[in-house]
């Protein structure tokens, strides 16, 4: 009997079926600049005509070992939301408007239903961020991954006028840092979180420890990454003098805030804030030091704006209005209302101060 590609582990018909399911999901994210649809060799998108000296801003990322939690729980509807968040939240730090998103989905054996659920999450996050799901790649790679597992990568492109680029160069001593709360761990620190919760504490993903208020460990770990594109666009459209923005990902506050501060400047945090209960559970359960928590997790802050003191009150009011009634992301559970946090001020620091030590924490 002649050998076929399907017998070798690659099902072309399944791939074609997935493309047909993806088409309406992508179409729902279409923006005015998109030309054509899903299924060609390349996606096409015009640069907006009303932007002077347009600068394209790109970002790429994955979701790390948060995928392991999705595999173990069988919940695949939100992991695509994380993928978009990790990429788009980076791109908007430059003041860019997100334009389009591309995804890469790789697995040993394609499960069309699972892949569709992943892409539905991607499309929902694209729609909330105002960018188009322009295309992607599905790769069936026999023997590359364990049964039932897959990997994801995302690619986002945005655009900003050159004169409106936000790059941190105008940050000055005395400027104020305003923090937006995270929805949980987002997509960072999962290797430590899983080690602490599932191994050191011996919890199952269906366990409901008191710290989580009735929520399961699995649900807390899978809380989808929050999207901040609306917040950025609202402040910029209102004329707030946003001098720098930082997406708080791997490395936490000390590993990300200094990336947008000029040399010789740091950030002095002047207050504490409640962090997600999941972080307290991780720290208690595995005896993780505060230093390690700070450099691994976002500590409840997902995004930071740096503005001059005169603009801080109006920025806080605008951000507070957005957080009071955020839209649910594509049918997912809506974010719990929360207020933006005035975190601290930009201060001078010695030129030889270590990178992470440019963030000064309040005394405990």
Length of the chain: 364
Of the pLDDT bands very low, low, confident and very high (cuts 50, 70, 90), residue 41 is confident
What's residue 324's pLDDT? 55
Residue 91 tokens, joined: 């791109």
Higher pLDDT, 336 or 72: 72
**12-163 placed in CATH 2.40.160.60:** no
What's residue 87's pLDDT? 98
Residue 152 tokens, joined: 């994801």
pLDDT at 330 over 70: no
- 162-174, pLDDT tens digit by residue? 999 999 999 999 9
Domain boundaries, the chain: 12-163, 176-360
Mean pLDDT within 182-189 = 94
CATH architecture of 176-360: Alpha-Beta Complex (3.90)
* SS (HEC) of 244-292: EEEECCCCHHHHHHHHHCCCCEEEEECCCCCCCHHHHHHHHHHCCCHHH
Mean pLDDT within 18-31 = 94
Of the pLDDT bands very low, low, confident and very high (cuts 50, 70, 90), residue 39 is confident
> Which of 140, 135, 142, 173 minimizes the C-alpha distance to 157?
135
Residue 213 tokens, joined: 């208020």
Rounded distance, CA 70 to CA 86, Å?
17
64: left (phi over 0), alpha (psi -120 to 50) or beta: left
Average pLDDT of every residue of the chain: 93
Contacts of residue 219, defined as CB under 8 A and 6 or more positions apart, other chains included, come to none
- 117-150, pLDDT tens digit by residue? 999 999 999 999 999 999 999 999 999 999 999 9
| Predicted structure pTM score | 0.93
CA distances from 201 to 167, 195, 216, 278, 279 (A): 42, 9, 14, 13, 14
Question: What is the 8-class DSSP label of residue 333?
Answer: P
What's residue 144's pLDDT? 94
Mean pLDDT within 242-247 = 98
Question: What is the 8-class DSSP label of residue 11?
Answer: -
Cross-strand partners of 156: 59, 101
């Amino acid at each position: 009997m002649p050998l076929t590609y399907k017998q070798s582990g690659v099902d072309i018909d399944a791939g074609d079926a997935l493309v047909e399911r993806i088409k309406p999901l992508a179409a729902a994210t279409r923006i005015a600049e998109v030309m054509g649809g899903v299924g060609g060799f390349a996606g096409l998108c015009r640069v907006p005509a009303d932007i002077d000296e347009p600068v394209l801003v790109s970002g790429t990322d994955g979701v790390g070992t948060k995928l392991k939690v999705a595999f173990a729980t069988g919940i695949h509807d939100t992991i695509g939301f994380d993928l978009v968040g990790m990429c788009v939240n980076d791109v908007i730090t430059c003041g860019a408007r997100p334009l389009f998103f591309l995804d890469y989905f790789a697995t040993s054996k394609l499960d069309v239903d699972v892949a569709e659920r992943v892409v539905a999450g991607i499309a929902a996050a694209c729609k909330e961020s105002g960018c188009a799901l322009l295309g992607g790649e599905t790769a069936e790679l026999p023997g590359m991954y364990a049964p039932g597992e897959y990997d994801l990568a995302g690619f986002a492109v945005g655009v900003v006028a050159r004169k409106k680029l936000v790059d941190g160069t105008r940050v000055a001593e005395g400027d104020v840092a305003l923090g937006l709360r995270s929805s949980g761990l987002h997509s960072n620190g999962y290797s430590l979180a899983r080690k602490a919760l599932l191994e050191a504490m011996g919890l199952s993903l269906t366990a409901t420890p008191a710290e989580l208020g009735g929520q399961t460990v699995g649900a807390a770990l899978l809380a989808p990454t929050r999207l901040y594109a609306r917040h950025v666009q609202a402040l910029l459209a209102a004329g707030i003098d946003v001098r720098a923005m930082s997406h708080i990902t791997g490395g936490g506050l000390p590993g990300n805030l200094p990336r947008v501060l000029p040399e010789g400047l740091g950030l002095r945090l002047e207050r504490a804030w409640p962090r997600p209960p999941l972080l307290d559970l991780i720290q208690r359960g595995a005896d993780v030091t505060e230093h390690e928590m700070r450099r691994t997790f976002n500590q409840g802050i997902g995004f930071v704006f740096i503005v001059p003191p005169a603009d801080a009150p109006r920025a806080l009011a605008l951000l507070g209005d957005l957080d009071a009634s955020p839209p649910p992301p594509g049918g997912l559970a809506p974010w719990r209302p929360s207020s933006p946090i005035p975190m601290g001020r930009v201060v001078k620091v010695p030129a030889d101060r270590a990178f992470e030590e440019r963030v000064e924490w309040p005394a405990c």
